[in-house]
Amino acid sequence: MWTKSNKKRIAPTTKHVPKIHVWAAFSSMGTFPLCVFTNNVNSGMFLDIMEGYLITQAQVYHESHWRLVMDNDPKHASKKVCTWLAQNVPNQIPWPSPSPDLNPIKNLFAWVKGEILKLGPRTIPELKLNLEAESYSTRFLKPCWESMPRICQLLVEGNGYPINY
């Protein structure tokens, strides 16, 4: 941009960009309703989400025949959360701390983020609307969970070292 040398050109910036957080879960039966919120998550809020969304929706989809996979985020591993999970979620797939993060929800989040960026929402309400629409798309879910046995096999063959997937 060409300007007169005596004028300063300053690009406007936003100091506090509005943001949202999302808790999501999916299974071979489809996606669970999203939990969209603006607060930062601590272990107490995480427990509220587990009680309000996970248990209810898992029972709707699978009755008592379901398993939980989570990464090792500190909020997921607090004493309070671990105690609650032991009492309420009997079928957990343990996730060793030093293992690569292969939680399939990360792949789903990356895909949804890419799809939403294509839509270019300009406001938080637009973002939430786009997020809801894309999260229910099943075109990515099936390959996401179907790839897990192969990924786990590659990990075993690679002695637990990171793999390209």
- pLDDT for 2 equals 58
Q: Assess if residue 10 is contained within a domain.
A: no
pLDDT tops 90 at residue 137: no
- Which domain CATH number covers 94? 3.30.420.10
The reply to whether 61 falls in a domain is: yes
pLDDT per residue as tens digits for the range 7-58: 667 767 766 667 888 888 887 777 788 888 888 889 999 999 999 888 888 8
Phi and psi dihedrals of 41, rounded to 5? -90, 135
In a domain, 114, yes or no: yes
What is the helix (H) or strand (E) element at residue 6, kind and residue range?
none
* Domain total of the chain: 1
Host domain of residue 115 = 21-157
Taking the C-alpha atoms of residue 77 and residue 99, their distance in angstroms, rounded to an integer, is 15
Looking at residue 122, its pLDDT comes to 84
- Residue 1 domain flag: no
In a domain, 8, yes or no: no
